[in-house]
Structure formats: structure tokens, C-alpha cells
């Protein structure tokens, strides 16, 4: 057996074991999308659908076959199967021929005052997170991860909500309750910071998505530039099966960092969300 065949077998073993150990209830929206699953693990077809690709394309990766796999696809597999750091390093290095690059930190993260960071990270009542005007995450608390486990990867709110298939499985009435209001906000920031390269990258990612790109020029875009606190939005939560939860998003502006946004996630009175 040559080195290439050995590496293919390693990828196959890592991904199969990762699928086998997955608890479907940890994936928000899984039951609503696929129905309840009593058997342990998730299937190739379910993994592929959550990653937004065909089963054949995912099978190609799990079989260790060489192909032009995009970073977006590989990152989706990493999130869905909750690969640990060592597993991710091996899968990416063998597949792409180089070490994975880390998510670039926002240049504003170093300007976040310690008191504000502590307020966000140590809060135990509501889910709190703070992002810059590009929607890159600067800080979040443990309660937020109970709603949105993806935030552990330190990614971008707009890219997650508007382009990731997993988000469309979790966010109920994705287009009207979530996507259209968020695209409206993104377009306002595009006008305010037309020369910001990172923001343009985020916009480019959204426009490149076939579904979100179609909504960019929708005549139904709202005029709000921030989430309306009175508007309840529905979603599924990890480990809660197909039960719907309703939340309100409250937006605040830290006066020391007026270009940033502090978000609080508040369950509606009728819900007992975590």
C-alpha cells in the first residue's frame, strides 16, 4: 500500500467514525428536516444535505478520492461532524495539500475593552455576543453557544445565517424572518463602508450563494437597519428535537465602539429556551 492509499484510508476512517459518534439531537433542526432518529450517528446522505452538496460529492470525500473540494465545503463537514483539531488538521492537510488557515481575527478585536468583553463572556442570564460592522464575532458567552454552536468557530454572522445550509435547517421561515432583514442590514453597511475589503468579502460570499444572491435585490427588503426588538423569530435548538422556539434579538451600540453591535438573545415569554 502506497502513501496516497494510506492517506485515503485515514480520511475514510476519520469521517466514518465522526459520523458514527454524532448524536443527531445535537444538530439544530435535524428532527424537523429528517425526522427523529433513534439509531446512533448520521448517514452520508444527511451529512451531504446539511453541507449543501450531493451525496455523491460527500461520498467522494469520505472515500478519500482526490477532487477540487472547496474550503467552504470542508469547513461545513468540519462543523457538521464536529471534528476535533487533530482530525481537522489531517483531513484538510491530506485533501488540500497544506495546513488549514485560521479564521482571521477582526482588527477591532484588539480594541474591545476588557470590561465589555467580561460583560459579554461572563453573563449567565441571556445569550450575548458582540460583532463588528462586518458581523465578525468579537466575543460571546456560553449561553450563546447553546443557541448557535457554530459560534465556537469564531465565524461571521452574515455568512452563517445567509449561506450555510445548516442555518436554513435551524432557522424557521428562513427567508422572511431571517434572510431578508439581514440582507437589508448588510446592504446598509455596504453603503456606509464601500471600501472595506473584509466587508466586501462577506458580501461577495453572500452574493455567490445561489439562494441568498437571489434575495439581494428583492423588492421585499425591509427598511430596518437593525433587528426589531418586537419581532419574534423562530428556530430549532440543539438537543430539543423538532420543538420550535421563539426569541427576540435586542441590538445595542457600545459607546466606546460605535461601529460594533452588542446583541442579546431573549426568549419570548411563552418559551422556556435554555
Q: What is the CATH number of the domain that holds 238?
A: 3.30.450.180
Confidence at 87, pLDDT banded by 50, 70, 90: very high
Is the predicted pLDDT of residue 109 greater than 90, yes or no? no
- Phi and psi dihedrals of 116, rounded to 5? -70, -40
DSSP 136: B
Look at residue 135 in the predicted model and tell me its pLDDT: 96
Asked, for residue 102, whether it belongs to a domain, the answer is: no
Confidence at 184, pLDDT banded by 50, 70, 90: very high
Look at residue 226 in the predicted model and tell me its pLDDT: 77
Do 169 and 248 lie in a common domain?
yes
Asked, for residue 163, whether it belongs to a domain, the answer is: yes
Is the predicted pLDDT of residue 44 greater than 60, yes or no? yes
Look at residue 134 in the predicted model and tell me its pLDDT: 95
Look at residue 210 in the predicted model and tell me its pLDDT: 92
Look at residue 270 in the predicted model and tell me its pLDDT: 63
Look at residue 2 in the predicted model and tell me its pLDDT: 62
pTM confidence score: 0.86
Average pLDDT taken over every residue of the chain: 91
Confidence at 1, pLDDT banded by 50, 70, 90: low
At 146, list the grid cell: 447553546
Domain interval for residue 166? 109-267
- Phi and psi dihedrals of 258, rounded to 5? -65, -15
Average pLDDT estimate for 14-37? 93
Asked, for residue 201, whether it belongs to a domain, the answer is: yes
Asked, for residue 272, whether it belongs to a domain, the answer is: no
DSSP state string for the chain = --HHHHHHHHHHHHHHHHHHH--GGGSTTHHHHH----SSS--HHHHHHHHTS-HHHHHHHHTT------HHHHHHHHHHHT--HHHHHHHHHHHHSSPPPPPPPPTTGGGS-HHHHHHHHH--SSEEEEE-TT-BEEEE-HHHHHH-GGGGG--BHHHHHHH-HHHHHHBTTIIIIIIHHHHHHHHHHHHHSTT-HHHHHHHHHHHHSHHHHHHTT-TT----SS--TT-EEEE--TTSTT--EEEEEEEE--TTSTT-EEEEEEE-TT----
The model's pLDDT over 205-233, given as tens digits with 9 standing for 90+, comes to 999 999 999 999 999 888 877 778 888 99
Q: Are strands 232-235 and 137-140 parallel, antiparallel or unpaired?
A: unpaired
DSSP state string for 151-209 = GGG--BHHHHHHH-HHHHHHBTTIIIIIIHHHHHHHHHHHHHSTT-HHHHHHHHHHHHS
Grouping H, G, I as helix, E, B as strand and the rest as coil, residue 225 is coil
Q: What is the CATH number of the domain that holds 58?
A: 1.10.260
Instruction: Evaluate the CA torsion angle 163, 164, 165, 166 in order and state its sign.
Output: negative
The model's pLDDT over 171-183, given as tens digits with 9 standing for 90+, comes to 999 999 999 999 9
Look at residue 112 in the predicted model and tell me its pLDDT: 92
Look at residue 251 in the predicted model and tell me its pLDDT: 94
Asked, for residue 104, whether it belongs to a domain, the answer is: no
In total, how many domains does the chain have? 2
Among the ranges given (49-58, 115-124, 152-161, 195-204), the one the predictor scored with the smallest mean pLDDT = 152-161
Do 49 and 146 lie in a common domain?
no
Do 82 and 122 lie in a common domain?
no
Look at residue 3 in the predicted model and tell me its pLDDT: 63
- The whole-angstrom separation of Cα 60 and Cα 42 is 17
Amino acid at each position: 500500500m502506497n502513501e496516497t492509499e494510506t492517506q485515503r484510508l485515514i480520511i475514510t476512517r476519520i469521517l466514518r467514525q465522526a459520523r458514527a459518534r454524532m448524536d443527531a439531537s445535537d444538530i439544530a433542526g435535524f428532527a424537523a428536516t429528517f425526522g427523529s432518529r433513534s439509531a446512533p450517528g448520521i448517514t452520508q446522505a444527511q451529512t451531504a444535505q446539511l453541507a449543501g452538496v450531493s451525496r455523491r460529492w460527500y461520498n467522494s470525500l469520505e472515500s478519500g478520492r482526490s477532487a477540487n473540494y472547496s474550503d467552504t465545503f470542508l469547513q461545513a463537514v468540519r462543523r457538521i461532524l464536529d471534528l476535533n483539531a487533530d482530525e481537522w488538521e489531517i483531513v484538510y492537510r491530506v485533501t488540500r495539500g497544506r495546513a488549514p488557515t485560521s479564521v482571521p481575527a477582526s482588527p477591532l478585536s484588539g480594541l474591545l475593552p476588557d470590561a465589555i468583553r467580561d460583560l459579554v463572556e461572563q453573563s449567565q442570564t441571556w445569550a450575548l455576543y458582540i460583532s463588528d460592522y462586518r458581523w465578525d464575532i468579537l466575543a460571546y458567552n456560553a449561553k450563546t453557544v447553546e443557541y448557535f454552536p457554530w459560534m465556537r468557530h469564531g465565524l461571521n454572522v452574515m455568512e452563517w445565517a445567509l449561506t450555510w445550509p445548516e442555518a436554513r435547517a435551524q432557522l424557521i421561515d428562513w427567508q422572511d424572518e431571517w434572510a431578508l432583514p439581514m440582507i437589508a442590514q448588510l446592504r446598509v453597511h455596504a453603503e456606509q463602508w464601500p471600501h472595506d475589503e473584509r466587508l466586501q468579502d462577506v458580501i461577495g460570499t453572500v452574493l455567490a450563494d445561489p439562494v441568498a444572491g437571489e434575495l439581494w435585490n428583492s423588492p421585499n427588503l425591509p427598511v430596518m437597519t437593525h433587528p426589531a426588538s418586537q419581532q419574534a423569530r423562530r428556530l430549532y435548538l440543539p438537543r430539543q428535537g423538532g420543538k420550535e422556539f421563539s426569541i427576540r434579538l435586542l441590538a445595542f451600540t457600545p459607546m466606546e465602539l460605535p461601529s460594533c453591535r452588542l446583541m442579546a438573545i431573549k426568549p419570548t415569554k411563552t418559551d422556556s429556551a435554555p
